[in-house]
């Protein structure tokens, strides 16, 4: 991951330490963030959990407008929130599955077959108090549609579908 000198802290003459680098060293070694169009993405290994049989990814969006250059790196709030979500992921996935089933109960029994790209979504521009994030489930039948299960920390606060 390329990091800018803007977030580096001066130490001794000729040395500097990046707060982001220190925090990322604490990131689980099996979660490798890679640059993407709007930020950073990591495919999560299956031992971390799945969503109704589908693999899950982590997305940290740092820009809503792709500019063709390497995305801005995650800030400390993004990283801390991602680490907390990863720590609690099994129980959060269970809650997301329950919310998914409840949302589609009675009107779309085939929704499970349409699941595409379930992911943890942290958006730097919309984090409220450093704890707000969403679990998003796409649909193979409608590429721009996603069911958004919003969380504040470990608590589900809303569930809505849209693009």
pLDDT higher at 125 or 82? 82
pLDDT of residue 104: 93
Spatial distance between the Cα atoms of 6 and 163, rounded to a whole number of angstroms: 34
- In this predicted structure, the answer to whether residue 15 has a pLDDT above a threshold of 70 is no
pLDDT of residue 74: 85
pLDDT of residue 66: 64
- Asked, for residue 12, whether it belongs to a domain, the answer is no
Average pLDDT over residues 38-42: 91
Q: Can you read off the two tokens belonging to residue 59?
A: 């997305």
- In this predicted structure, the answer to whether residue 21 has a pLDDT above a threshold of 80 is no
pLDDT of residue 18: 64
Whole-number Cα distances in Å, 33 to 53, 68, 87, 149, 158: 22, 18, 16, 22, 27
- Asked, for residue 15, whether it belongs to a domain, the answer is no
- Asked, for residue 74, whether it belongs to a domain, the answer is yes
- Asked, for residue 43, whether it belongs to a domain, the answer is yes
Q: Can you read off the two tokens belonging to residue 86?
A: 């990863």
Spatial distance between the Cα atoms of 113 and 139, rounded to a whole number of angstroms: 9
Domain that holds residue 146: 24-162
Share of the chain above pLDDT 90, in %: 55
- Asked, for residue 18, whether it belongs to a domain, the answer is no
pLDDT of residue 110: 82
Phi, psi torsion values for 160, nearest 5 degrees: -150, 155
Provide the CB-side half-sphere exposure for 141 (13 A, CA): 8
Average pLDDT over residues 44-59: 97
- Asked, for residue 144, whether it belongs to a domain, the answer is yes
pLDDT higher at 86 or 111? 86
Q: Residue 37: pLDDT band by 50, 70, 90 thresholds?
A: confident
Average pLDDT over residues 83-93: 97
- In this predicted structure, the answer to whether residue 11 has a pLDDT above a threshold of 50 is no
Q: Can you read off the two tokens belonging to residue 161?
A: 């579908």
Phi, psi torsion values for 94, nearest 5 degrees: -60, -45
State the DSSP string of 48-85: G--BTTB--EEEEE--SS--SSPPPPPPHHHHHHHHHH
Helix (H) or strand (E) holding 19: helix 19-25
Domain count within the chain:
1
- Asked, for residue 5, whether it belongs to a domain, the answer is no
- At residue 1, the 3 state secondary structure works out as coil
Quote the pTM value.
0.84
- Asked, for residue 54, whether it belongs to a domain, the answer is yes
State the DSSP string of 98-146: HHHHHHHTTT-TTGGGGEEEEEEEEETTT-STT-EEEEEEEETTEEEEE
């Amino acid at each position: 991951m390329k990091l800018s000198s803007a977030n580096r802290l001066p130490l001794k003459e000729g040395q500097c330490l990046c707060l982001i680098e220190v925090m990322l060293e604490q990131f689980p070694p099996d979660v490798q963030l890679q640059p993407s169009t709007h930020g950073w993405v990591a495919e999560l290994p299956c031992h971390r959990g799945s969503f109704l049989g589908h693999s899950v990814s982590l997305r940290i969006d740092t820009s809503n407008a792709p500019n063709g250059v390497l995305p801005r790196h995650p800030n400390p709030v993004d990283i801390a929130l991602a680490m907390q979500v990863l720590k609690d992921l099994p129980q959060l996935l269970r809650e997301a599955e329950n919310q998914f089933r409840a949302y589609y109960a009675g009107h779309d029994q085939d929704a499970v077959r349409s699941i595409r790209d379930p992911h943890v979504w942290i958006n730097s521009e919309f984090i409220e108090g450093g704890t707000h994030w969403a679990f998003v489930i796409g649909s193979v039948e409608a590429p721009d549609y996603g069911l958004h299960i919003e969380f504040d920390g470990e608590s589900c606060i809303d569930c809505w579908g849209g693009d």
